[in-house]
């Protein structure tokens, strides 16, 4: 039982926000591509595949991240008790778990078309080099955005087998969504990060975080509006879109306080609702 608990702790399965933030972009990409007048069974099937893949890849990514960051994690209050940093599990066993999770994810992946399979394989270096970015640049959150939102492209190609301007615009916008929310998340560890010498957008913009976060969410918002225009969505889409946008600019930007760790975490977690509600907006746009 202790091994199971250690595995769950290692893969953060009790913290679903991580794999949900990886899943929502996949669902967005699939939704803007899908013809809802056809058989819904394929849509539901692909949604389940993307969800399973998100859980598996995020779990594998957590392990790789903890292996690479084990020495840093020991020095940070929030992460010092993680299984690898605390010595609950060896690096070799953890690496084996990660390989097995990746193999399971590959079994999910091969259910898609060849283009989607190849594009997903090309993205693997993004996923597993992300932990190194904080050592070299103040923009690891941007790199995370490239990685976490790649599912938009995969969702689109799973239906069409090629890439068009719509998923590219949504992908570029969603990168700034991630850049915004992960900058907020980073303020939980900013003091420890500055001491041990790792970099982040939170540190770079610590004197004017609200302006930076506003700018990120503004670019994301523009991409959502452009998608509605390019895909000829009805006014209902733009009307419902005001709800997640109001949340982004009021709760996540205006109400944000970099000195309140619990608020930073709550704001970060609230992006799960943004992901879900924007999916609803897209479905409305496609149907109505």
What is the predicted pLDDT for the residue at 272? 97
What is the predicted pLDDT for the residue at 5? 87
Q: Tokens 């929310």 identify what position?
A: 181
Q: Residue 170: is its pLDDT beyond 80?
A: yes
* Radius of gyration of the chain from its Cα atoms, rounded to whole angstroms: 19
Q: Tokens 């690898």 identify what position?
A: 84
Residue 98 makes CB contacts below 8 A (sequence gap 6+) with 60, 63, 64, 67
Residue 22: pLDDT band by 50, 70, 90 thresholds?
very high
What is the predicted pLDDT for the residue at 144? 95
Q: How many CA atoms lie within 13 A of 261 on its CB side?
A: 7
| Tally of CB atoms within 10 A around 55 | 22
Residue 126: pLDDT band by 50, 70, 90 thresholds?
confident
Burial (CB < 10 A; 0-12, 13-18, 19+), residue 115, is middle
Q: Residue 142: is its pLDDT beyond 70?
A: yes
Residue 76: pLDDT band by 50, 70, 90 thresholds?
confident
Residue 127 makes CB contacts below 8 A (sequence gap 6+) with 57, 61, 64, 147
Residues 190-245 have pLDDT tens digits of: 988 888 888 999 999 999 999 999 999 999 999 999 999 999 999 999 999 999 99
Tokens describing residue 204: 């770079």
**Distance between terminal CA atoms of the chain?**
50
Residues 243-281 have pLDDT tens digits of: 999 999 999 999 999 999 999 999 999 999 999 999 999
Q: How far apart are CA 139 and CA 203, in angstroms?
A: 10
Enumerate domains of the chain plus CATH numbers.
2-287 (1.10.357.140)
Higher-scoring residue by pLDDT: 195, 284: 284
What is the predicted pLDDT for the residue at 238? 97
What is the predicted pLDDT for the residue at 1? 60
């Amino acid at each position: 039982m202790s091994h199971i608990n250690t595995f769950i702790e290692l893969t953060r399965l009790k913290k679903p926000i991580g794999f949900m933030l990886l899943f929502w972009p996949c669902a967005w990409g699939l939704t803007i591509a899908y013809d809802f007048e056809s058989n819904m069974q394929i849509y539901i099937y692909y949604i389940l595949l993307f969800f399973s893949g998100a859980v598996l890849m995020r779990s594998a990514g957590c392990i790789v991240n903890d292996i690479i960051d084990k020495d840093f994690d020991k020095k940070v209050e929030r992460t010092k008790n993680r299984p690898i940093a605390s010595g609950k599990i060896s690096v070799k066993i953890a690496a084996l778990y990660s390989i097995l999770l990746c193999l399971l994810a590959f079994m999910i992946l091969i259910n898609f078309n060849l283009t989607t399979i190849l594009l997903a394989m090309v993205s693997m270096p993004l996923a597993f080099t992300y932990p190194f970015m904080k050592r070299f640049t103040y923009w690891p959150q941007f790199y995370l955005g490239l990685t976490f939102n790649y599912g938009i492209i995969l969702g689109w190609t799973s239906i069409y087998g090629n890439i068009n301007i719509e998923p590219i615009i949504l992908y570029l916008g969603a990168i700034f969504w991630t850049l915004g929310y992960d900058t907020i998340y980073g303020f939980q560890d900013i003091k420890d990060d500055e001491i041990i010498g790792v970099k982040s957008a939170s540190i770079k913009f610590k004197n004017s975080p609200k302006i930076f976060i506003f700018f990120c969410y503004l670019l994301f918002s523009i991409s959502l509006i452009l998608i509605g225009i390019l895909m000829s969505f009805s006014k209902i889409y733009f009307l419902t879109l005001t709800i997640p946008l109001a949340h982004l600019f009021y709760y996540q930007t205006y109400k944000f306080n970099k000195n309140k760790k619990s608020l930073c975490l709550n704001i970060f977690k609230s992006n799960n609702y943004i992901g879900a509600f924007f999916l609803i907006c897209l479905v409305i746009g496609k149907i109505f």
